[in-house]
Every structure is written in C-alpha cells, then in structure tokens.
Structure 1
Amino acid sequence: MAICKTLFLKKTHDYGTAWRILRPESITDQVFIKAQRIRTLEDKKVARVDEDVTGEYIGIINYCIIAMMQLESDSATPMELSEDKVSQWYDDKARETKVLMFAKNHDYGEAWRDMRVSSLTDLILMKLLRVKQIEDNKGLTLASEGIAANFQDMLNYSVFALIKLGLQ
C-alpha cells in the first residue's frame, strides 16, 4: 500500500485532483480496463506494451481508493483538494479496507494464499460486473453489499495479487 500511495500522491502533485471530475461509472470502467488488460496478458502470455501487470494492480488499488472517496463526496466537496487532505483521505480508506481484509482473512482462513493470481483477477472482474449492475439499478440492492464494499474487495484482491507476484 505504501508503493500505491506514493504513486498516487506523486500523480496528485502532477495532476491535482482531476479525478474528482469522474462519475462513479467512469471509475468502474477505469478499473475494468485495468483488470481486463491483466486477464488478457494472463491468457495471451505476451504484452505488446512495456508495462507489466503489477502496475495494473497498483492502478486498480488507486482507482478503488478514488471510487470510495468519490462515493463519499457530495456537491460541497471541492474539486481541488490539497495534497494533505488527499493523503489523509487515502489513509482513511486504506485503513477501513485493511480492517475489512483482516476480518475476512480470519473468517476465510487466508484462503487467498492458496489461490492463483488469475483467480484473483477473475474475482475482480466478477466484482466489477456486480458493481456495474448495482450502478445500472441506481444503487439499489435487495440482498447484496453496496458499491463501496465491492471496491474494498477489489482493492484487497489486488493487494493479494501483488503479494503473490512478489511486490512487498
């Protein structure tokens, strides 16, 4: 997460908080693009762009943080935020997601350690399809977790993938 946050803050320095313009559906699509590229590379085993999948998982993590921040935002939230505010907000969302991860790891016995990275990719894609359906339903669910919980799961799956790929 430190690697992800460092990159996020460097981009915040370079671009400001331009991501604040993104609607939730656009963020979902950005995560989808990254997850789909990972799956394509896993299937084809050849990349034509000189960027490995670790960068894509980092991108998923950061877009998931953006999604959670945007879901919490309202019309009173300024478009431009200070780097300090963004850093604190990032930490808050990462901390909330880490708490969820530890709770689920306890209940699931850290099953992710025995999973293939490709399965983590598939789970991210499945969560994205769920989020798209919830978005299409205007956020209404009958028996399902909400959008933010799905982004938290995708973030955690990406962290697990990075650990399995040797990025620590």
Structure 2
Amino acid sequence: MGLFRRLFGSGAPDGFTGTLEPEETVIASTPVRDGHLVVTSLGLWVPGPRRIGWHLISKVKWEGALRVVEATEASTEGPVVLLEDLPAQRFAVDDPGRVLRAISQRVEGSIRHRERVESPGVWILQRKIPGQDGFVWQARGDAGVDLAAVREAVSTFAAKLAG
C-alpha cells in the first residue's frame, strides 16, 4: 500500500485535511460545507476533520440532505456496550448516490448479528470494528428509550454472553 500511495496518492480529495491510516483506503468522497465527506475502509470522515468508525454510525438516510446519526459509547452491561445516539448531522450534497451507497454498505457490513427486544425497543448488535480483529456487542435503544431501560433489556443477554 505504501508504494501505491507514493505513486498515486491516497485517493482523498484535494483540500482534505484528515490523516489517513497507512492501511486506510478511500472509497468515495463528496464536497460539503466546511470540507468533505470521505468514505474510507475504516469509517466516515466528516468536516473537522474527524473519522466516525462504521461501528458507531446508527443510521444514514437521504432526506434532501445526507443525514448521519452517530452513536456514543455511554456505558456497558457486562460485555455489551450501551450506545446513545447523538443529534443527527445533516450534510448538503449535490449527488448523494455513490457516497450514500458506500456508507450504507459499510454500516450494514459491520453488523454480523442483530436481535430485537421489542419491549422497551432495543437493538442488540454484534459488529466488526474497522481495522481491528474480533467484534463488539452493542445495544441501542429506540428514540425515547433511556439508558436504564436499555441496560435492563440487555442484562439477561449480557449475562449469557459473560457466561
């Protein structure tokens, strides 16, 4: 990869100020206000620049602008990481096609297993962390479900995993 980058560059758009990891490859990019959205093998670079790992993107959707919901690791219940969604970020892009597809594929591709706990409304996911071996268990409540309810919903599941 080093020789390829020396000969052909990183594939990042002109003006991108992030620092890619040696093994990180650029898949797609698009200009946005204050910078670029850059889709790589390790995550989504947003203006700042800041990379969000694929395992921390809860949702991506086109709503007249690209809407990205990032999660934060709020707590743990045994081996399960409890996530809380941050406010959605919106990015105006002229043509979301390639970037939206690339983001969606990588977010979905990071999920190895998913289970639903209907009451109170919690998703339990097994996800691959980009650039690392192994996986992580995560739990994320639906909108309006607080962290205590998420913890309670996954406690039995987490106990089985810890086993």
- Compute the TM-score of the two structures, normalised by the length of structure 1: 0.28
Bigger helix fraction: 1
Larger radius of gyration, structure 1 or 2? 2
- Compute the TM-score of the two structures, normalised by the length of structure 2: 0.28
